[in-house]
């Protein structure tokens, strides 16, 4: 999702996570810098990671995220070429 500052990107993504949490059983993993919305688990297992606090970098968090077998990954802003180049 893209858009200018203040356009509601974070709020929209939080609403999507909230919808999934209310309507599915899934493992949701968020990778953010900083964590903007704290999500409480309802039907889903939700793990929230903050860059600089829980992981050294966004790219390291994204690489290790796949080992956690998430059904949904919410990635915050991708600010560096290393992260954008992950495949």
The total number of structural domains that make up the chain: 1
Q: Give the Cα separation of 44 and 46 in Å (integer).
A: 6
pLDDT of residue 2: 85
| Rounded mean pLDDT, 27-49 | 96
Taking only the tens place, the pLDDT of each residue in 57-86 is 888 888 888 899 999 999 887 666 666 665
At 56, the pLDDT band (50, 70, 90 cuts) reads confident
Q: What is the pTM (predicted TM-score) of this model?
A: 0.85
The answer as to whether 47 is a domain residue is yes
The answer as to whether 2 is a domain residue is no
For residue 34 the two structure tokens come to 């900083």
Taking only the tens place, the pLDDT of each residue in 43-53 is 999 999 999 99
In the chain, the percentage of residues whose pLDDT exceeds 90 is 62
Is-contact 47 65, C-beta < 8 A?
no
The answer as to whether 33 is a domain residue is yes
């Amino acid at each position: 999702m893209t858009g200018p500052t203040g356009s509601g990107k974070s709020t929209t993504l939080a609403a999507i996570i909230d919808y999934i949490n209310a309507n599915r059983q899934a493992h949701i993993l968020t990778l953010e810098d900083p964590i903007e919305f704290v999500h409480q688990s309802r039907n889903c297992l939700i793990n929230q990671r903050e860059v600089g606090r829980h992981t050294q970098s966004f790219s390291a968090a994204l690489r290790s995220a796949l080992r956690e077998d998430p059904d949904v990954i919410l990635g915050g802003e991708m600010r560096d070429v290393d992260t954008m180049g992950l495949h």
